[in-house]
Chains A and B, each alone.
Chain A
């Protein structure tokens, strides 16, 4: 562990434990003071902010100072990749906590709400560190179960409850597929830990022929695809994102998706090395198909939506398609990239991580803007947002930054992360995949601009009646916008870290 203070190895779990402890503290506060209106919301939000920022600071500190650690006989690793994602999850959690402050002010069970958010965040941090299929499954479930409850949090809202139920049903099916896949892999290789699976595959110590392993891997992809909301496991996403409280939509579409991707990056690069399994099952081809279908379906569907939140939900599916390109273009050979001194695989994974990081801010910010609009009761359709800049110029400007950055225009770091990702894919020779992604990006510019146009250019049919400006959501939206813009000049520094983390994994 850290050479300066000689911490024990288990201290490596500190970022994850920060989430867990925060969740328990919130439970404790709730049980001391069960009457929801007597316990100050400010205290809850404060505890939540401290917990999530502590996770960010701890993981950032370990990332810079400490070396990798293995715990629980190698089932749990703390390395650069996991710390990077823990920091990402912590940042998104902080934004969500801050943005929820005003959003849930009028509801009951606020401590439970925060507590569930932190339990899910604990699960995400564990997913980032899981190094065995069993640990991964438990962690994924730890993410999923609180998420179902959070989506259905608005108990008296039909949409919210329905979305929660659908999410749960599709989730149960996906979990079943995932765990079945795990059992098949275990059956074929006799191992659950990622590196041991790789050793077994390499040593040809397979039981039951290639079919068992191939089917297992494909089903593991199913589990990952569910978490990342990739087609065809995406069906829950539009409804869950639309029905859930808007901060939770941001949380699920950013942090939960990132957790799914870190699992995919780790499982497929460590447990199923491409050179060993490509004869049985060329998973890059599977990801290539998923990537194309996901981005195309997500963007095309987003283009025809009438409701803003649903448009963002589909755009979130589209973005999962972009990041899937990183795995689709993976080569496993260590070939040079278009940048000097970096292998193309590290560049690809690093770019995927960067895109998820930037996406964590711009997408959460966009959903929080929707939360703001819901708070004001503006309405759900594009037309309802007409001329909102008159009442909320700062928030509208921030939203414009998010939308253009999501589309990949250089007002925010979304431009650079997409650019580097495309560069990596071209470096792998898949230029036609980049062409498809570019067409999709162009289409996405269309539907993002629709909202920008509504905000700034159109005039509202009836004037908006806005009487209060919630400080918490505003602070979160502005913070997200500032980070989205600052990552543009600061991109190089963070990207180096991400590429190094990817390189360390490979």
Chain B
């Protein structure tokens, strides 16, 4: 089956073809490019599943594939590294390919209902954007080196810009698109510097193998390999700096504090796009990148600590803001930020498998929630305010039950998918915190506290939307949705319910049954790649000093019970307050806290101030300098040049006698000069 690896590029190229088809032929096609997109992503899904299956069923070196496709800059003696495009398939990328192509496929199907059936215009552009988006993300996932990853990371950012601003004739979307682009670009500057730093330090950007930069870094720490460090830093410190630079891009893309502000605004885009961005592409790209180069981060306890703290803080911080939002998609937006915070917490806390697990389950249940929200939005004639809904449970049962499954998963209620993954995130952080890295306990505490808020805002959303009495006429009589909306919801609903089964670690610990499938799968990476779980575990223990405390079965159960209990507590509070026929706003009871939360902790305000209050004056000063001094010098030089030029012109009198005289004079001057200096006389 290893021949399937040769087809990996096709996984990304199929959506690229659909992009071209939709762009150039979309307006002549019956569904304006939707069918091409569905066929392409469907093909990608089948191929990705085959690849994942091959990875799972093979042994030894066949479980991965690491090949260069195209070298666009050959290394030479003066520039001792090559720049290339390549394919890296190992369990992590195989899994992610399945996730991305699955979500992308379902989003395409759902778009038939959300965009085509609603009679939107500009659909070829929409489907072209989706195709390019899927292409970029898939190619990013199987990128074999950090430069290629960066290129597609940027393409992903561009696509999100194009799709968020899809309704460019309205006021909000273009502005939101620009904001998303600029804020993520701010992070990407650091990433770009990081990429250059990696090439300058190691001479390679490869992710996997014995010549990869994570491995070279490991050898450098052991003194087995010498690398270039800069700024006079030691190796460990320099690797931390490089890791943090790359992390800049991750924080921007994965909407971590303080660069999360673009994401809620990005809700201006079409809802299926939000599903794609939040579940599988743009936002996932950041966390995936950390997982991809985990062997590098595992060498630096400082970088890990920063990741864990940013993650834990973001999880809590975003969850609190989700509590007061009025609009369905806004709640989901803050939940996304919060959930990616959990993944970062897991990565920083030494729980690589937990992070990948949560990335997978979150992709499913967040796509489900967004598509469910999309279904509600269709029904509500594009009114997103939850206070105008209510009682939709009876009118749209399929949407309700699937949305409920997604909500249970998001809140982390047993036995839905999110429970297992979130529990593992918290458990891993806890045992490493209790072990030799007590600072992680701070991240753990924030993550735990966020569970309460998550349970609360999730069920506040469910109750306000579906329960109680209809609060408007539209909610009385919502518009029905078709199969193309319900189909994806059912698929994702089932997955959100059962997907936890792929890695039920607590059950394994209790019964010793061999059912941590995801862990085993991720551990299958070819030993030469150095991307397997046990290799990372080794690195964490040896290099980062992450020891795990043994808290026994009791501790395990207590931890699970604690997070479940807190989630239930949050959900219960929401039940008390909002599951009533005529719910009222309780946010006023929060007093001034409400204002703070409603304004999102004034994050936007201070960033706007940074732009207008700080950057603009500095830019103006620079402009004055440029106009006055630089341009002044340039203009001065040009005046001098033209003046001198006129002088030179005057030498050319047109009288040949003058020419002969000047020529002879110049020769005499030269003879005199060289005669004196050369001692001819």
- Residues of chain A whose beta carbon lies under 8 Å from any beta carbon of chain B: 165-166, 169-170, 173-174, 177, 209-211, 214-215, 218-219, 222, 231-233, 235-236, 238-239, 279-282, 285-286, 289, 297, 300-305, 338, 340, 443, 446
B640-651 toward A: CB 8 Å interface, digit per residue (1/0)?
A: 011011101100
Q: How far is the CB of B636 from chain A (nearest CB, A)?
A: 14
Given contacts A235-B652, A300-B641, A303-B641, contact A173 B680 (CB under 8 A): no
Q: Does B231 contact A (CB under 8 A)?
A: no
Are the CB atoms of A210 and B652 closer together than 8 Å? no
Q: Which 6 A-B pairs have the closest CB atoms?
A: A211-B680, A232-B666, A304-B645, A235-B659, A300-B645, A301-B648
Are the CB atoms of B675 and A211 closer together than 8 Å? yes
Name which residue of chain B comes closest to A177, CB basis.
Answer: B667
Q: How far is the CB of B326 from chain A (nearest CB, A)?
A: 54
Are the CB atoms of A233 and B663 closer together than 8 Å? yes
Are the CB atoms of A281 and B645 closer together than 8 Å? no
Of A173, A210, A238, which is within 8 A of B660 by CB? Answer: A173
Of A235, A289, A338, which is within 8 A of B662 by CB? Answer: A235
Q: Cβ of B649: which chain A residues have Cβ within 8 Å of it?
A: 301, 304-305
Are the CB atoms of B674 and A166 closer together than 8 Å? no
Q: Does B681 contact A (CB under 8 A)?
A: yes
Are the CB atoms of B652 and A238 closer together than 8 Å? yes
Q: Give the docked Cα–Cα distance between A409 and B96 (Å).
A: 44
Are the CB atoms of B679 and A210 closer together than 8 Å? yes
Q: A218-B667, A235-B656 are in contact. List 20 more A-B contacts (CB 8 A).
A: A170-B660, A177-B667, A210-B679, A211-B675, A214-B675, A235-B652, A235-B663, A239-B652, A281-B674, A281-B678, A282-B678, A286-B674, A300-B644, A301-B648, A301-B652, A303-B642, A303-B645, A304-B642, A304-B645, A340-B78
Give 8 pairs: A residue, B residue, CB < 8 Å, sorted on A.
Answer: A170-B659, A231-B666, A232-B662, A280-B678, A280-B680, A302-B645, A304-B648, A340-B78
Q: Does B671 contact A (CB under 8 A)?
A: yes
Are the CB atoms of A214 and B663 closer together than 8 Å? no
Q: How far is the CB of B673 from chain A (nearest CB, A)?
A: 8
Q: Cβ of A297: which chain B residues have Cβ within 8 Å of it?
A: 648
Q: How far is the CB of B657 from chain A (nearest CB, A)?
A: 9
Q: Give the docked Cα–Cα distance between A233 and B681 (Å).
A: 25
Given contacts A301-B648, A340-B78, contact A210 B678 (CB under 8 A): yes
Name which residue of chain B comes closest to A339, CB basis.
Answer: B78
Name which residue of chain B comes closest to A172, CB basis.
Answer: B660
Q: Cβ of B666: which chain A residues have Cβ within 8 Å of it?
A: 231-232
Q: Cβ of B646: which chain A residues have Cβ within 8 Å of it?
A: 304
Are the CB atoms of B671 and A215 closer together than 8 Å? yes
Name which residue of chain A comes closest to B662, CB basis.
Answer: A232
Q: Cβ of B671: which chain A residues have Cβ within 8 Å of it?
A: 215, 218
Q: How far is the CB of A226 from chain B (nearest CB, A)?
A: 9
Name which residue of chain B comes closest to A305, CB basis.
Answer: B649
Q: Give the docked Cα–Cα distance between A170 and B652 (Å).
A: 13
Q: Cβ of B667: which chain A residues have Cβ within 8 Å of it?
A: 177, 218-219, 222, 232
Chain B interface helix/strand/loop/mixed:
helix
Q: Does B629 contact A (CB under 8 A)?
A: no
Q: Give the docked Cα–Cα distance between A338 and B76 (Å).
A: 13
Q: Cβ of A174: which chain B residues have Cβ within 8 Å of it?
A: 663
Q: Does B554 contact A (CB under 8 A)?
A: no
Are the CB atoms of B670 and A218 closer together than 8 Å? yes
Are the CB atoms of B662 and A300 closer together than 8 Å? no
Q: Give the docked Cα–Cα distance between A219 and B668 (Å).
A: 10
List B residues 619-654 near A (Cβ within 8 Å): 638, 641-642, 644-646, 648-649, 652, 654
Q: Give the docked Cα–Cα distance between A219 and B666 (Å).
A: 12
Q: Cβ of B664: which chain A residues have Cβ within 8 Å of it?
A: 173
Q: Cβ of B638: which chain A residues have Cβ within 8 Å of it?
A: 446
Name which residue of chain B comes closest to A303, CB basis.
Answer: B645
Q: Give the docked Cα–Cα distance between A232 and B78 (Å).
A: 41
Q: Give the docked Cα–Cα distance between A281 and B670 (Å).
A: 11
Q: Cβ of A169: which chain B residues have Cβ within 8 Å of it?
A: 656, 659-660
Q: Does B77 contact A (CB under 8 A)?
A: yes
Q: How far is the CB of A163 from chain B (nearest CB, A)?
A: 10
Q: Cβ of A173: which chain B residues have Cβ within 8 Å of it?
A: 660, 663-664
- Residues of chain B whose beta carbon lies under 8 Å from any beta carbon of chain A: 76-78, 638, 641-642, 644-646, 648-649, 652, 654, 656, 659-660, 662-664, 666-667, 670-671, 674-675, 678-681
Q: Give the docked Cα–Cα distance between A123 and B78 (Å).
A: 43
Are the CB atoms of A214 and B680 closer together than 8 Å? yes
Are the CB atoms of B670 and A286 closer together than 8 Å? yes
Q: Give the docked Cα–Cα distance between A279 and B680 (Å).
A: 10
Of the listed residues B638, B649, B674, the one surrounded by the most CB atoms of chain A closer than 10 A to its CB is: B674
Name which residue of chain A comes closest to B643, CB basis.
Answer: A304
Of the listed residues A215, A222, A289, A304, the one surrounded by the most CB atoms of chain B closer than 10 A to its CB is: A304
Q: How far is the CB of B537 from chain A (nearest CB, A)?
A: 45
Q: How far is the CB of A276 from chain B (nearest CB, A)?
A: 13
Are the CB atoms of B681 and A211 closer together than 8 Å? yes
Q: Cβ of B660: which chain A residues have Cβ within 8 Å of it?
A: 169-170, 173
Q: Give the docked Cα–Cα distance between A40 and B490 (Å).
A: 86
Q: Cβ of B642: which chain A residues have Cβ within 8 Å of it?
A: 303-304
Q: How far is the CB of B667 from chain A (nearest CB, A)?
A: 6
Name which residue of chain A comes closest to B648, CB basis.
Answer: A301
Are the CB atoms of B680 and A170 closer together than 8 Å? no
Name which residue of chain B comes closest to A166, CB basis.
Answer: B656
Q: Give the docked Cα–Cα distance between A233 and B638 (Å).
A: 27
Are the CB atoms of A340 and B77 closer together than 8 Å? yes
Name which residue of chain A comes closest to B664, CB basis.
Answer: A173
Name which residue of chain B comes closest to A280, CB basis.
Answer: B678
Q: Give the docked Cα–Cα distance between A279 and B677 (Å).
A: 10
Q: Give the docked Cα–Cα distance between A304 and B639 (Å).
A: 11
Q: Give the docked Cα–Cα distance between A173 and B662 (Å).
A: 12
Q: How far is the CB of B113 from chain A (nearest CB, A)?
A: 50
Are the CB atoms of A214 and B674 closer together than 8 Å? yes
Q: Cβ of A239: which chain B residues have Cβ within 8 Å of it?
A: 652, 654
Are the CB atoms of A170 and B663 closer together than 8 Å? yes
Q: Cβ of B675: which chain A residues have Cβ within 8 Å of it?
A: 211, 214-215
Of the listed residues B648, B670, B681, the one surrounded by the most CB atoms of chain A closer than 10 A to its CB is: B648
Name which residue of chain A comes closest to B645, CB basis.
Answer: A304
Q: Give the docked Cα–Cα distance between A430 and B674 (Å).
A: 21
Q: Cβ of A280: which chain B residues have Cβ within 8 Å of it?
A: 678-680
Q: Give the docked Cα–Cα distance between A279 and B674 (Å).
A: 11
Q: How far is the CB of A228 from chain B (nearest CB, A)?
A: 14
Are the CB atoms of B648 and A218 closer together than 8 Å? no
Q: Cβ of B641: which chain A residues have Cβ within 8 Å of it?
A: 300, 303, 443
Q: Cβ of B77: which chain A residues have Cβ within 8 Å of it?
A: 340
Name which residue of chain A comes closest to B659, CB basis.
Answer: A235
Q: Cβ of B76: which chain A residues have Cβ within 8 Å of it?
A: 340
Q: Cβ of B656: which chain A residues have Cβ within 8 Å of it?
A: 165-166, 169-170, 235
Name which residue of chain A comes closest to B658, CB basis.
Answer: A235
Q: How far is the CB of B420 from chain A (nearest CB, A)?
A: 57
Q: Cβ of A211: which chain B residues have Cβ within 8 Å of it?
A: 675, 678, 680-681
Q: Cβ of A177: which chain B residues have Cβ within 8 Å of it?
A: 667
Q: Cβ of B679: which chain A residues have Cβ within 8 Å of it?
A: 210, 280
Q: Give the docked Cα–Cα distance between A209 and B648 (Å).
A: 38
Q: Cβ of A170: which chain B residues have Cβ within 8 Å of it?
A: 656, 659-660, 663
Are the CB atoms of B678 and A300 closer together than 8 Å? no
Q: Give the docked Cα–Cα distance between A170 and B678 (Å).
A: 28
Q: Cβ of B645: which chain A residues have Cβ within 8 Å of it?
A: 300-304
Name which residue of chain B comes closest to A235, CB basis.
Answer: B659
Q: Give the docked Cα–Cα distance between A199 and B501 (Å).
A: 91
Name which residue of chain A comes closest to B640, CB basis.
Answer: A300
Q: Cβ of B78: which chain A residues have Cβ within 8 Å of it?
A: 338, 340
Q: Give the docked Cα–Cα distance between A442 and B652 (Å).
A: 23
Q: How far is the CB of A291 from chain B (nearest CB, A)?
A: 14
Are the CB atoms of B648 and A300 closer together than 8 Å? yes
Q: Give the docked Cα–Cα distance between A289 and B669 (Å).
A: 12
Q: How far is the CB of B149 from chain A (nearest CB, A)?
A: 29
Q: Cβ of B674: which chain A residues have Cβ within 8 Å of it?
A: 214, 218, 281, 285-286
Q: Give the docked Cα–Cα distance between A294 and B648 (Å).
A: 11
Of B659, B670, B680, which is within 8 A of A236 by CB? Answer: B659
Q: Give the docked Cα–Cα distance between A446 and B77 (Å).
A: 37
Name which residue of chain A comes closest to B644, CB basis.
Answer: A300
